[in-house]
Structure formats: C-alpha cells, structure tokens
Structure 1
Amino acid sequence: MSAFFTTPSMATGALALLALLATASVHAAPAKPAAQPLPPRPSLADVIKASGPSDWRALDPENTLYMELPTGRVILELAPAFAPATAANIRALVRERYFDGLFIIRSQEGFVVQWGDPDEDNPKPFKAAKTVKAEFTASIKDAGNFTRLKDGDVYAPQVGHANGFPAARDPASGRTWLTHCPAMVGVARDEGADTGNGSQLYVVIGHAPRQLDRNITVVGRVISGMALLSSQPRGTAASGFYDKPEQRMPIKAVRIAADLPEAERSRFEVMRTDSAAYQAAVDAQRNRGGPWTKVAAGKIDLCSAPIPVREQK
C-alpha cells in the first residue's frame, strides 16, 4: 500500500509557490504585436526591365553550342577561361559531327541528365583527343573578372560570378573553379582524373551537388532549353541510365554558332554579372518585398542567385 504524505513545511512552500505564480500572471508581458507587412521592393522582373544595353553581353559564337533535339534547341555556353583544353576538344568533337546521331543516355532524378555514346563495346570513333588533362580548377589570374557574393558559402572561402558563370575561389591557393549549380555542364569521367575528354557531357537538373566541385571538369552552362533536358523521362537502370534503346532521345545534331549562317543563329544575351544591374538583380532575390513575401530571407546562396538571360528578336 502506498500513500502520498504532505508535511507542514511542504504545504507552506506550495502556498508560497501559488502566490508567486499568481503575481507573475498579473505582471506577464503583453503579447507581441503582429509582424508588419513587408514594403514593396523592386522585383527581378523590375530590375531586368530597368536595365540598359550595357548591362548585357552577347554570347560568343565560337563558344556557343546548339544541340538540336527532336523537341527543340538546347543552347550551351562554354567557359574556356576555366577549362580551355576541354572546351577546345569539345569544339573539335562538334566540328567532326561526333555528337550527331548519339543520344541522351541518362536522366537521374534530382541530379543530372547525360548525353553521349551508349555503346561501350563498339564506341563511335572520333579524331579529337582521347585524353584531356583534368581542369578541375583554374588560376584566379586567368579566369577574368570575379564579382563576389557577400553571403558566404559552405564549400568555398569565396563565391560569386565570373563573366556569367557561378564560381568559387580560394585566394590562399590562387585557384578558382566553376560550381555544380543547376544548368551547369560537366564532363563525365571514369575513376581516373584525366579520363574525361568531353565526349560525354551532363547537365545538373536538380539540387546543386556541390560536393562534386573540384572533382570534375565543369565546362559551361545551359543558356536556353533546360526544360527540354530536365523533362526527360527518368532512367530505370542504376544511376538513371536508360537500359532500353527506345528510352533514349536521339541527338539530331550539335553545331557551333560561329559555323552557322547568321539567319540560323539564336540571339541570346546574358546579364553582365559585373554590372550594377546584376547586383540589383541578386538583391531583389535576397530581400524580396511584399505583399506575397511575409519574411525576407536577407541571404542568398550561390546557386539561387539568378543569372538573367534574354533573347533578342
């Protein structure tokens, strides 16, 4: 048999505690007022509309690739300042029509879409270099202007943009590199660092896999046509590869813009990431105004910073 016993001293203490709680409730702090709505701020669309011609740059035709799919044109911009040998080898592959008739061979959910030759036993021959030395990083002094983001980063001492490409750098080592943000194009490779030559490429379609930075050569960015790649049916084999030939989308042709007549070129421009307009574009995303936004983030990560692109009709 058990019982609960209350001694006189315990009873006195209990009464004192009740009195203290009653006093505290009388003097409780008043409820905080509701948060005030955010004032309107310029949106990204407002910044783009207010920008001037000098805030934009045209694509370099020699470093612009058109990948023609049955569903439309995908436009890629190469970044030779970061991967000069790889970019040159890709141009060589394109000029010998290597990619014509090959396929999109992989679509992995939340990760990448990859294209190239699916036949490892009897691969399509090519004259371009079979081996290209890895270009995982580049010298800061060779990579051009760098506009640093003030928000910091998990993966690198500094991040920002270099001529329209998301980039990171380490001033202590003097090295810089392109980052695995969505729409960035990388060079598939085997285990060896120097086994990627540009004959198989991939584009990031999901959350930024930044752990791949400095482990794979990143060679450019998709400027237009991302929806044609990200909407590919997901592969059913390991790592999203297609295990049935009929699942692969054929590549009709890949061409360099400089090799086409003016009438066949697409006219796209990228906002200059060293311009005041671009800083306003980033801030419009960092500190979005009301009325829809209730809490402004006040921060932005590298892969969420917009890089506006527009087509000139």
Structure 2
Amino acid sequence: MIKKPLLLACAAAFAALPLSAQDTKPEYPSPPEIVAKAQAEEWVAIAPSDLLVMDLAPDAKGKARRVVIQLMPAPFSQGWVGNIRKLAAAKWWDGTSVNRVQDNYVVQWGDATEKKALPEGLAVVPEREYVTPFRVGVMEQVWGVGGKREALMELLPRPPMGDNIPHFEDPYARSFSFVGGFPVAMTSASEYARQGASQTTPKLMLMPKDLWPTHCYAMVGVGRNLSPDTGTGAELYTVIGHAPRHLDRNIALVGRVIEGIEHLSSLPRGTGPLGFYEKEEERVPITSVRLGNEISDLPAFEYLSTESASFAAYADARANRRDPFFIIPAGGADICNIPVPIRRKTQ
C-alpha cells in the first residue's frame, strides 16, 4: 500500500512535468482534415467531356436541381459509356423522367413509357463486358490486408492481425483497388514466374485476374431486362443506400454521381413494386442531359489521386478512426467505406 506522503510527492512531481509529458496520447487527424491538407499536385482534373450533366425540373420552391455524373474510364464498360454519349448527343433524355425511387436501394430514370425511339447505332454489349481481364498497366497498386502493395507481387505469408495494421478486406472479392479514381474489385490468380539470374528457381506470384467496378453509394448503373439483355444505357440508376454488392458483375456500372446526389436521394419513395411511381404526376421530369463540355457554366472538378500519399493516409484514417470522437478504431474498411474525395477545383 502506498503511504500518503509518497502519494502526494508523486502527484506533485507529475504536476511539475510539462503537459506533453503528462499526456503522451498522439493526436490523429480525421479523414476530412487529411483531405483538406492534400497538396494541389495530388488532385487529378476530371475532363468536362467525361461528365454527364442532368437537369431535373425545379423543386416545389423553384430551386434548380442539377446532377453531375462522372463517366467510367477505360477499360471498363466502354460499350455502354459509348451508348450514353450518343444518347446525350441526341438529347434523348430530354422530356423523360425519374420513375423509380426504392428506399435504401436505387433511384432510376429513363423513358417511363418504354416506347421512345432510341438513336441509331447503339452498341449491343455482351455480358462478358461486366468484367475486365487484368493487364499490366491498368493499375499499379492493390489494397488488402496490411495496406496496399504492388499489383504483381511475390506470394508472402498473411500479415498478422493487430490493432495498428489496417485491414482493407472485401467480402465480395479477393481484393480491391482504384482505377482512374473509381473503385474496382478483383479476383486473384497465382502463377509461377522464374526470377533471378539463374532463371531456375520459380517463385509463386500473385496477380489480379478479373476486375470489375463496384456498387458503392452514388455509383451509376444500366437498367436491363432478364439475361442475356444487358441494357443500352438509356435506362440508368444510382445507388442511394447500403452498397448492393450482389449486383456486381450482373449489371454494367458506367459512372458515379459526383455532385447533386441529394436531388435524387431525397425524392419521395415510390409506392409501386420495386419503388416505381404508380402515377404519372409522381414522376420527376428531366429537362435535359448533356455532356459536360456542352455546359458553359459547369465548374471544374477534380479527385484526390488514389496513388498519392494523402490518399494512403486518408484510407488508413477511414479504416482506423483515431480522432477524438472515436473510442475504438474499427481496424479495417471495405472498398465502399473509402470513397474517393471529389471537389470543385479551386481557382
């Protein structure tokens, strides 16, 4: 038992220490703080021609409603993306509507009558285009247990579990990565590659096999009928709820909403089957859909490079929240819990 004079002496000595010695708990920045401090060169400009701008009819208070969509980059879903560009050029969506709002799932838009003639020359895209075979150069990094690694790497033992080791794991895929700032999941294949000067000692290497975009919040996909139909791109939807990853590799993803998602996610829920509106007056009119390079007053947008040091720190912070509000770090994150930061470009 510690006697009172000794206890008082210890307390006095502790009080005499500088504050930094009394409280050694490090301070960790939050994910938004990390993004705010990212260097200008870590941001990547989004080309206006890669944006799809959808203007809805004004709301009940007369306020404009604009939704900006970034189209999926190559090599993913380019058959459907090409169709979308043709549909926008033909002004096909003008006068169509938002027809379906299903709670915790999707908002869908297009021609409610399904009778409007499509422009000529739209591609019929096969189901195999839902996935893309990996090739060297598509991406440099793969995210998984312990952080990110090279896309091609020697097969090493699984890193040990621990509170300080970030675990980026995906329940629907072997691992994940980012291509052009978009989230993609993948399967992995192992192969033998001869390494070293002698070229006689094989080493087991891990490499991705198939890649596909993932159904995270605000991603945009192509509505379709039953297989083998894959949709043209005329009927589109966006995710407004918990990531429906079971749709991955079953429906084409063609982009993501980067601004204005609130104009879709806040709409009244449809009362018909699957959230479709039952009455014509419930539908939200679409006044126009254009490519971004046709909009004179469109601001410039940019995303935080997923290869940057700031993004690596941001991803770690998303996986292990240690800023003051949090008590217990989660220790991990899946791909949809690491949304790529996007902002209007600062002038």
Scaled to the shorter chain, the TM-score interval is: 0.7 to 0.9
Tell me, yes or no, if structure 1 residue 64 matches structure 2 residue 81. no
Tell me, yes or no, if structure 1 residue 126 matches structure 2 residue 130. no
Taking the aligned partners of 1:60 and 1:142, their CA distance within structure 2 comes to 24
Taking the aligned partners of 1:303 and 1:213, their CA distance within structure 2 comes to 13
Taking the aligned partners of 1:142 and 1:243, their CA distance within structure 2 comes to 49
CA drift at 1:270: 0.8
Tell me, yes or no, if structure 1 residue 115 matches structure 2 residue 109. yes
Match of 2:222 in 1: 187
Unaligned runs of 5+ in 2: 1-22, 59-63, 145-167, 190-207
Match of 1:236 in 2: 271
- Larger Rg belongs to: 1
Q: Which runs of 4+ in 1 moved over 3 A?
A: 36-39
Tell me, yes or no, if structure 1 residue 138 matches structure 2 residue 138. no
Unaligned runs of 5+ in 1: 1-35
Which of the numbers 222, 228, 233 marks the counterpart of 2:257? 222
Q: For the aligned residues, what is the CA RMSD?
A: 2.0
Give the aligned length.
Answer: 275
Give the structure with the larger strand fraction.
2
Deviations 1:12-44 (A, max 9, x none): xxxxxxxxxxxxxxxxxxxxxxxx997431111
Which of the numbers 58, 70, 76 marks the counterpart of 1:77? 70
Match of 1:153 in 2: 170
Using structure 2 for the length normalisation, give the TM-score. Answer: 0.75
Match of 2:13 in 1: none
Taking the aligned partners of 1:290 and 1:55, their CA distance within structure 2 comes to 23
CA drift at 1:142: 7.8
Deviations 1:273-312 (A, max 9, x none): 1211111111121111242111111111111113111112
Taking the aligned partners of 2:121 and 2:113, their CA distance within structure 1 comes to 18
Tell me, yes or no, if structure 1 residue 275 matches structure 2 residue 308. yes
Match of 1:12 in 2: none
Report matched runs for 1:294-305 at 5 Å.
294-305=327-338
Taking the aligned partners of 1:110 and 1:220, their CA distance within structure 2 comes to 19
CA drift at 1:62: 1.9
Tell me, yes or no, if structure 1 residue 285 matches structure 2 residue 279. no
CA drift at 1:265: 1.9
Match of 2:183 in 1: 166
Whether the aligned pair in 1 keeps the contact of 2:230 and 2:251 (CA below 8 Å) is no
Taking the aligned partners of 2:137 and 2:80, their CA distance within structure 1 comes to 15
Provide closer, same or farther for how the CA distance between residues 72 and 277 of structure 1 changes in structure 2, counting only shifts above 3 A: same
Whether the aligned pair in 2 keeps the contact of 1:37 and 1:291 (CA below 8 Å) is no
CA drift at 1:194: 3.4
Taking the aligned partners of 2:24 and 2:275, their CA distance within structure 1 comes to 45
Taking the aligned partners of 1:283 and 1:123, their CA distance within structure 2 comes to 48
Tell me, yes or no, if structure 1 residue 103 matches structure 2 residue 120. no
Taking the aligned partners of 1:252 and 1:147, their CA distance within structure 2 comes to 41
Whether the aligned pair in 2 keeps the contact of 1:281 and 1:306 (CA below 8 Å) is no
More off after superposition, 36-45 vs 268-277: 36-45
Which of the numbers 33, 40, 46 marks the counterpart of 2:27? 40
SS in 2 for 1:48: helix
Tell me, yes or no, if structure 1 residue 249 matches structure 2 residue 284. yes
Whether the aligned pair in 2 keeps the contact of 1:187 and 1:200 (CA below 8 Å) is yes
Taking the aligned partners of 2:52 and 2:121, their CA distance within structure 1 comes to 17
More off after superposition, 284-293 vs 92-101: 284-293
Using structure 1 for the length normalisation, give the TM-score. Answer: 0.83
Provide closer, same or farther for how the CA distance between residues 278 and 146 of structure 1 changes in structure 2, counting only shifts above 3 A: same
Match of 1:29 in 2: none
Amino acid across the alignment from 1:85: G
Give the structure with the larger helix fraction.
1
CA drift at 1:260: 3.3
Deviations 1:238-266 (A, max 9, x none): 000011011111111111112333xx222
Provide closer, same or farther for how the CA distance between residues 93 and 293 of structure 1 changes in structure 2, counting only shifts above 3 A: same
Report matched runs for 1:258-273 at 5 Å.
258-261=293-296, 264-273=297-306
Match of 2:88 in 1: 94
